[in-house]
Amino acid sequence: MKNVSTVIPCYAADTSGVCSALYELGGLTVVHDASGCNSTYSTHDEPRWYDKRSMIYISALTEMDAVMGNDEKLILDTVAAAADLRPEFITLCGSPMPMMTGFDYDAAAAEIEERSGIKCLPMHTNGTRSYIEGASEAFLAAVKAFAKEGPKVENGVAVLGATPLDFGLSGSIGSIRTWLGERGFETVSCLAVDSSFKDLERAALAKVSLVVSQSGLAAAKYLEKEFGIPYVCGVPYGKKYAERVERYLRWAMEDNETDWVDERSGRDFDTVVIGETVSAFSLCSALYWDLGIDAAVICPLPYEEGRLGRDLAMSAEEDIKAFLEECRPARVIADPLYRYVVPKDTRLTELPHFAFSGRCFGQRIPDLINKDIKEFFE
């Protein structure tokens, strides 16, 4: 069965994606779920929880409220919390139980907005999908609601799809900002690490969006459609590949052209990368440009239709295991907890992914932005 795993973990779910995306943007986020269920997010999916406060709460749904359809309690509690905390906006997202009862997020959000006078964004999560879907919906909704039209900032870049779920607290997002600055770009908005509500408002002032994970793609497409801002998908890993990304950013600004910086040899691969699509594609390209390594991607998470080429979409433990057994790559680059499915004679280069192994290897997530990656991979 595809939904069965004997040993490897599952990825963070959609609700965590919403919370992670909006964590620093000044909103009040309410997850409609039972008491205690927020500890999964706050313990395992959110490395900022201890050191940086965010108004993320659980509705403490009970069996009786679910059975009786007592949505009023959630609405009243949220409005009361908003009165005490005065957030920039409110977000309402859900879990499996509200899905079963047919909870109407749009209606509840409209009611909360009317009573509190604060913009309320409904998210349609249900705890059964991946964090990518949740973060993607959150970034899109937030940009739609709050990005303001204005004069474009010269060489301005909006970094989209940045969350600790994909980058941990490795410093990678800070390094992307530094790298952009060193190359004459200005980060006008970063959604959303080391960010604030202002970043959200300024997202449409960029000349180009840099999409660093699949979570940022929907927002990038919206900004392109509504504000004419092209986007480039890629994470500037390595040295030579980072140069490629820089070049694409300039082309995008000059020619208003959107693109993925996915450049690989097309030769037979001997390395497999398992991970989030934008990151994994970028890493494969960096391996090629910087080290001459030919790699393919296993995408266990949502990806853009038509992007895969020779890469493979598979998430089931049995599929990944069978594929690796059959293809026997010389090396797999993946989170350490994939070790259970990597064949014995295949080398595993551990690249921790917070959305997969959570805190287990959080301290070991490397910052490979614009760095010489030879030592790490060779």
Partner 1 sequence: MLKDMQSYERPPFVTVDEAPEGDHFAGGLEYNPPARGVWNIVHTGMLIPGAHQIFVCAQGCLRGVILTAAEMGMLDRLSWVSVSEEDMFDGTLESDVVEGTAEIIQKLPERPSEVLLFLSCIHLFAGADFEEIIRELGVRFEDIHFTDCYMTPTMRKTVSPDAKMRTQLYEGLRACPIDPKSVNIIGCDRPTDESSELVRIIKENGFVLRDITQAKSYEDYQQMAKAAFSVTYLPTAKGAGDRLSERFGSRNIYIPNRFDPQGIREELSKLCEALGVELPKLDEEEKKAMEALEKARELIGDTAVAIDFTAVTRPYELAKLLCEKGFNVRYIVNDVLGEDVEAFRWLKKNRPGIKIFSALNVNMLNAAESAEKSGETVLAVGQKAAFFFATDNFVNIVANGGYYGFSGIKAIAELMCGAFTVPKDRRTVIQHKGIGCYSCVYQD
Q: Which of 59, 136, 187, 271 binds partner 1 (CB under 8 A)?
A: 59
77 in contact with partner 1 (CB under 8 A): yes
Site for partner 1 in 348-377 (CB under 8 A): 357-360, 362
* CA dihedral of 44, 220, 22, 241, whole degrees rounded to 10: 40
Place of tokens 């009023």: 72
Count of beta carbons in the 10 Å neighbourhood of residue 117: 10
For the bound state, the minimum distance from the C-beta of residue 230 to partner 1, rounded and expressed in Å, comes to 34
Of 78-86, 136-144, 161-169, 170-178, the segment contacting partner 1 by CB under 8 A is 78-86
User: Which is closer to partner 1, CB of 78 or CB of 215?
Assistant: 78
For the bound state, the minimum distance from the C-beta of residue 377 to partner 1, rounded and expressed in Å, comes to 24
94 vs 283: CA distance, rounded Å: 33
For the bound state, the minimum distance from the C-beta of residue 366 to partner 1, rounded and expressed in Å, comes to 18
Q: Which of 96, 171, 174, 366 binds partner 1 (CB under 8 A)?
A: 96
Contacts of residue 309, Cβ cutoff 8 Å, sequence gap at least 6? none
For the bound state, the minimum distance from the C-beta of residue 218 to partner 1, rounded and expressed in Å, comes to 20
Spell out, one character per residue from 123 to 152, where the chain touches partner 1: x when CB under 8 A holds, - when not: ---xxxxx----------------------
Q: Which of 20, 23, 25, 49 binds partner 1 (CB under 8 A)?
A: 49
16 in contact with partner 1 (CB under 8 A): yes
313 in contact with partner 1 (CB under 8 A): no
Nearest to 304 by CA among 199, 220, 191: 220
DSSP assignment of 228-292 equals ---EEE---BSSHHHHHHHHHHHHHHHH---EE------SPPSEEEES-HHHHHHHHHHIIIII-
116 in contact with partner 1 (CB under 8 A): no
Of 72-80, 164-172, 178-186, 247-255, the segment contacting partner 1 by CB under 8 A is 72-80
18 in contact with partner 1 (CB under 8 A): no
DSSP assignment of 114-158 equals HHH-S-EEE----SSSBHHHHHHHHHHHHHHHH----PPPTTEEE
Contacts of residue 216, Cβ cutoff 8 Å, sequence gap at least 6? 136, 139, 159, 160, 161, 162, 191, 209, 278
Q: What is the DSSP letter of 161?
A: S
85 in contact with partner 1 (CB under 8 A): yes
Q: Which of 64, 225, 345, 378 binds partner 1 (CB under 8 A)?
A: 64
Omega before 296 cis (within 30°)?
no
324 in contact with partner 1 (CB under 8 A): no
Q: Which of 20, 26, 44, 116 binds partner 1 (CB under 8 A)?
A: 44
Query: Exposure pattern of 196-234 as b/e (b: 16+ CB <10 Å)?
Result: ebebbbbbbbbbbbbbbbbbbbbbbbbbbeebebbbbbb
Spell out, one character per residue from 223 to 262, where the chain touches partner 1: x when CB under 8 A holds, - when not: ----------------------------------------
For the bound state, the minimum distance from the C-beta of residue 125 to partner 1, rounded and expressed in Å, comes to 8
* Residues binding partner 1 (CB under 8 A): 1, 3-16, 30, 33-40, 42-45, 49-50, 53, 55, 57-64, 66, 73, 77-78, 80-81, 83-85, 95-97, 99-100, 126-130, 337, 340, 357-360, 362
